[in-house]
A = this chain, B = another copy of it.
Amino acid sequence: MGYKITVIPGDGIGPEIVREAVKVLDAAGEKYGFRLDYTEVLMGGASIDVHGVPLTDEVIAQAKASDAVLMGSIGGDAATSPWYQLEPSKRPEAGLLKIRKELNLFANLRPAYLYSELKAACPLRSDIIGGGFDMMIMRELTGGLYFGERCTTEENGVRKAKDTLTYDENEIRRIAKRGFDIARKRRKKVTSVDKANVLDSSRLWRAVVEDVAKDYPDVELEHMLVDNCAMQLVRDPKQFDVILTENMFGDILSDEASMVTGSIGMLSSASLNETKFGLYEPSHGSAPDIAGKDLANPIATILSAAMMLRFSLDLDKAADAIEAAVKQVLTEGYRTGDIYSEGCKKVGTVEMGSLIAERV
């Protein structure tokens, strides 16, 4: 069986990590009898360089016509790259926001878990991490402050800027359902994070989440204020199963959570719409400083590719095999520089990809 995959190598380390993910996908295809047809397109800085804009309509059309999108990473060094001389709406990241909106990718899943093999890399004390932790962040991705109206005006010589945070109940309901669905397949606990002691949008969020929870009597729901959640992720990350939250809070908390695992180079993400379609990318950035040096860790992208097989193509066995292969190379002691610790075998981007592909 064949599937159409749009591939966005992107910027920085994007192309080299995507290459390894494709290598691993092909190995899985051979073993499990499916074929992926890749169409490579430009986005972000790479697209600005060629087309003058970070995302063209052709790329959106191409993505829409495919079964899933696999992406590397977008953006460059804001301090030195000419892309950041452009006005904000023309910079690489604007392409990312646009594709999320155009493809209606409202559900952003970011797993944050501690690999037992990588406990030494976790910044937390060993008595806090204990047997490890494993949480899933479900971040709303097409609403809130990211997509509200904004403007900068000047009145009597005083500049003033305004952003708006809006949510309607349908937007909240659909992401909440996704959160509860995922929790049902996990440890059956949803922590909904908001700032309901201040924001109207958070109070609506809380009310709708409570409403949705009624259809999931088997799943425990707790509400947590965002400031408290930022504390609890450090104090005791084990308490979380699924964290369900709006766009901006999700941006902050998922980055914090991924750092708490100590291995952001290992963490995947999926951005889904109402259908099976999704965009898959590593949680980390484009790391322009190490681009092209065979230093980048391709595992986050490889695991994102596994999520793609699972969520968009229903190829669960192949996804399992990739995840198991990743686990195995770690157990065998192979490490890229970012997760290296003494006594392990240091390998580059390409070798890591090959090692995983061989073990699929």
B255 contacts A228, CB within 8 Å? yes
A166 contacts B170, CB within 8 Å? no
A35 within 8 A of B: no
What is the bound-complex CA distance between A164 and B151, given in angstroms? Answer: 11
The A contact surface, by secondary structure, is helix
In this complex, the member of A88, A208, A254 whose beta carbon has the largest number of chain B beta carbons within 10 angstroms is A88
A329 → chain B closest CB, angstroms: 25
A316 → chain B closest CB, angstroms: 31
What is the bound-complex CA distance between A230 and B233, given in angstroms? Answer: 11
Q: Total interface residues on A, using CB and 8 Å?
A: 60
A287 within 8 A of B: no
A293 within 8 A of B: no
What is the bound-complex CA distance between A138 and B259, given in angstroms? Answer: 23
A324 within 8 A of B: no
What is the bound-complex CA distance between A208 and B197, given in angstroms? Answer: 30
Q: Mark A158-193, 1 if CB is under 8 A from B, else 0.
A: 111111111111100000000000000000000000
Known: A160-B204, A232-B259, A235-B259. 17 other contacts (CB 8 A): A97-B198, A123-B235, A124-B125, A161-B199, A161-B200, A161-B204, A162-B165, A162-B201, A164-B164, A226-B251, A227-B251, A230-B230, A230-B252, A230-B259, A233-B256, A249-B252, A256-B256
